[in-house]
Amino acid sequence: MKKPSPIYQLKVTLAESKPPIWRRILVASDMDLGLFHNILQDVMGWTDNHLHQFTVRGVTYSAPYEDMAHGFEMDFKDESKYKLSQLLKKEKASLTYEYDFGDSWQHKIVLEKILPHDDSMMIPSCIKGKRACPPEDCGGVWGYENLIAIIQDPKHPEYQDMREWLEEDFDPERFDLDEINDALEAYRKPRS
């Protein structure tokens, strides 16, 4: 019988965000990178409308894309063939996850702890975090900072346009742990 895989406690931080936008999550160490991408989308609050890639020690991992059949070649390894535990082997190890190559949302992912398997733990789960995920297509970290400055100043000439473009109740400080864990429910295996 196969020994259950350890649990990874990871900290995911949106690079260059000030104050930091981050999540602390618990995941199975033996999941493939494709599944890990899906979990990151839900944990951070992205909508999976753009390309992504993982990079560790100079090697890039990603999903094969339809554009490759049209002569556009990318130099990467197929993420579905690699497990998280193959990239992060010891505590303090890290990797980069980039989402949306235009806005270039870079996430630093650090393996904080390797925990023994525990059937009583809800895996995957988010245990802590700060601040809302930026809206898609707002221009990366710098565009997001500009957006925040505009919506905090009702006298700004672009205030009304930005408020209409955003979701009605967007709050950059909002972080809803229950909402994230509800989204992660779909990835949980039933307990025996």
Residue 179 belongs to a domain: yes
Domains contained in the chain, number: 1
Residue 114 belongs to a domain: yes
Domain that holds residue 16: 7-132+173-187
Q: What does pLDDT average to over the chain?
A: 91
The whole model's pTM is what? 0.91
**Would you state the pLDDT for residue 2?**
72
Residue 156 belongs to a domain: no
- Describe the strand order of the beta sheet including 105-115 as a list of residue ranges: 77-78, 59-62, 52-56, 94-99, 105-115, 7-14, 22-28, 125-130
Between 69 and 5, the higher pLDDT residue: 5
**CATH number, residue 57:** 3.10.290.30
**Would you state the pLDDT for residue 68?**
47
Residue 153 belongs to a domain: no
Residue 178 belongs to a domain: yes
Residue 41 belongs to a domain: yes
SS3 12: strand
How far apart CA 63 and CA 77 sit, in angstroms, is 8
Residue 57 belongs to a domain: yes
Residues 14, 44: contact at Cβ < 8 Å?
Answer: yes
